[in-house]
Structure 1
Amino acid sequence: MRNEDITLTAGDAEVTVQPGNGGRVGGLRVDGTELLRQGERFGCFPMVPWCGRIREGRFRDGATVRQMPLNSPPHAIHGTVRDGSWRTARVADGEAVITYDLVEPWPHAGRVTQAVALTPDALTLTMSVETYDDSFPAQIGWHPWFHRNLRGADARLDFAPAWQEERGDDHLPTGNRIDPKPGPWDDCFGMPDGVRVTLTWPGFLELAVTSPEHWVVVYDEQDAAVCVEPQTGPPNGLNTLPRLVTPLQPLEATTTWSWRRI
């Protein structure tokens, strides 16, 4: 099927999926208000086959050291699939499924599948990475850019992580876990009972980002947006906390954004 934009509606919620633009969610509108920052590189993009930065673009893959392009020098950032064109597998009532076959510079064959499901009060994103060839380490995550200000009010951010990954001068976790510090952040946090971060725009909407995964990056250093990024491991995780994709065991993850009017 063609990779043109897909629009799903449920009640007064509407989501746009963009297979041709890195498989991202290009927009989410509730009561006619767009929640996501607009633009070719914004919305909410999938982070696969790694999340955040890989130190100097290198990671150990069995006995081999792999080198990824340094698209955020001196590191490689946010995977490869956001730069590619996905294919639409199917569109049904309230759900779209899109796929992407991993290609160079990623050294292994594999397929990424993302399902986008919309109800009147929630959006659920589910992603998997599978292979029928060699096993390889991978990560899954999402990078949404929520508007900081909606209907004249700035978002309030509320979450209770168990720890914060100490960030080194190279912008990567040092391996030390510290007590959470006040923002602004471009930091990874541990939530071993599952990710739950709430964004509240006073007078309009409360939105909870949840996931069974144990890691979330919060980025709120820009005036225009707040990013809440659930993921299967910390930045540089291909080196420090690899999750293996095998022919018998895909890597799977999910996140749900649920909202209520206030």
Structure 2
Amino acid sequence: MPDVSANPKLPAATELAWLDDPSIAPQVVTLTAGTLRLVIAPAIGGALAAFYESTANGPRHWMRPASHAAFTERDPLRMASFPLFPYCNRIRNARFGFDGAIVDLSGNDPRFAHALHGNAWRRPWQVGALTQNSVDLHFEHEPDSRIAGDWPFRYRARQRIELSDQALRITLSAQNLAGRPMPFGMGHHPYYPRTRQTRIYADVAAMWHADAHVLPTRLGPHPAVDALRRDGLSPDAFDLDNNFANWAREATIAWPDESRQLTMTAEAPFDHMVIFAPVDDSQLCVEPVTNTTDCFNASGPREHVGGCVLQPGEELSATVTWTPKRM
């Protein structure tokens, strides 16, 4: 078994300066394969801190690297990517009806009026099996009635993270440990470098239009759908924080000015994709998810809404792969 007791020396770069902080370095796990590197922060929501290629000119980032504040403030929103369990995106007013009762998630985070992204991204994950190029991360949720808005179902989540010299592969899985059915969804929330020339390509069927609270109103056509399917979508073209239904489970983020691209592929039931590209902003997310926003309250065909119900003991697993390519 390779020696993984210490992280390998990383190239000096402003974006990765936090690795020189003695209070941060012990918090991360680094995987290596060929020239690819993946830095993981298990204690900060099981998040990825950096995914890059080591080059003679310094790191070439395939995801936006974490900021120093992401570590000091333990904020997954400023990481490179983080897992979403047991649902993705917002739940209207932090409430929904299920199995004859109201599930009240209000109060779990005063920053948000609507429940956001579940709870696994707010908790530390445990490191399991670890090699030079792979790691298992585990999170088990035990409901606590003393915590306002706590998810009331017991479940176990896992990330199997594998890095080859060609790609990053993450298998997400969850098992319902409650003695009753549990509503469920999962995903990952990657941020990408954003430039004026960045383009996104994906075969999608339609977009969920949203209100001022970023909650879905109707599924239908939009110029962004046409751009994604044809000439590529510029992140600057629209002010987006929207779900796209029934994509082909493949999307490419391209940086033609840098002669490179990153292709993300996903297995079912990752049948939904979110694009977060706010206007006049540096953020860009293209997220594989199993459910649309507010899926537990949404009406419509299951293929348009997503999500599922896990029976007691039932487990769901699916893989997302990111493949970099130099043109």
> In 2, distance between residues paired with 1:252 and 1:109?
17
> In 1, distance between residues paired with 2:318 and 2:213?
28
Name the one with the larger helix percent.
2
Superposed, 1:188-207 pairs within 5 Å as: 188-192=243-247, 194-202=248-256, 203-207=258-262
> In 2, distance between residues paired with 1:103 and 1:69?
18
Name the one with the larger strand percent.
1
1:138 paired residue number: 184
Q: Which amino acid aligns with 2:264?
A: V
Task: Tell me by how many angstroms 1:211 deviates.
Answer: 1.1
Task: Tell me by how many angstroms 1:145 deviates.
Answer: 0.9
Task: Tell me by how many angstroms 1:74 deviates.
Answer: 2.4
2:139 paired residue number: 100
TM-score (norm. length: structure 2)? 0.73
> In 1, distance between residues paired with 2:115 and 2:177?
26
2:326 paired residue number: 261
> In 2, distance between residues paired with 1:119 and 1:260?
13
Q: 2:170 aligns with which of 83, 104, 125?
A: 125
Q: Retained in 2: the 8 A contact 1:219–1:228?
A: yes
User: What secondary structure does 2:172 align onto?
Assistant: strand
Give the structure with higher Rg (CA).
2
> In 2, distance between residues paired with 1:19 and 1:216?
25
Q: Which amino acid aligns with 2:266?
A: S
Q: Structure 1, residues 148-177: CA drift from partner, whole Å, max 9, x if none?
A: 13xxx7421122211111213332112x32
1:69 paired residue number: 106
Q: Which amino acid aligns with 2:203?
A: A
Q: Retained in 2: the 8 A contact 1:139–1:238?
A: no
Q: Structure 1, residues 92-130: CA drift from partner, whole Å, max 9, x if none?
A: 242111000114411111110111111112111111110
Matching of residue 9 in structure 1 with residue 32 in structure 2: yes
Q: 2:61 aligns with which of 34, 41, 53?
A: 34
2:266 paired residue number: 211
1:46 paired residue number: 83
Q: 2:204 aligns with which of 152, 161, 179?
A: 161
1:148 paired residue number: 194
Q: Which has the higher contact order (CA 8 A, sep 6+)?
A: 1
Task: Tell me by how many angstroms 1:61 deviates.
Answer: 2.6
Task: Tell me by how many angstroms 1:30 deviates.
Answer: 1.5
TM-score (norm. length: structure 1)? 0.90
Q: Structure 1, residues 27-64: CA drift from partner, whole Å, max 9, x if none?
A: 10123222333221321011111100000001223111
Task: Tell me by how many angstroms 1:248 deviates.
Answer: 4.0
Q: Which amino acid aligns with 2:202?
A: F
Percent identical pairs in the alignment equals: 25
Task: Tell me by how many angstroms 1:220 deviates.
Answer: 0.9
User: What secondary structure does 2:223 align onto?
Assistant: coil
1:177 paired residue number: 219
Query: What 5-or-longer segments of structure 2 have no aligned partner?
Result: 1-25, 71-75, 144-149, 225-237, 299-305
Task: Tell me by how many angstroms 1:77 deviates.
Answer: 0.8
Task: Tell me by how many angstroms 1:251 deviates.
Answer: 2.4
Worse overlay, 94-103 or 162-171: 162-171
Superposition RMSD on alpha carbons, in Å? Answer: 2.0
1:235 paired residue number: 293
Query: What 5-or-longer segments of structure 1 have no aligned partner?
Result: none
Deviating beyond 4 angstroms after TM superposition, the runs of 4 or more aligned structure 1 residues are: none
Q: Retained in 1: the 8 A contact 2:125–2:139?
A: yes
Q: Retained in 2: the 8 A contact 1:50–1:238?
A: no
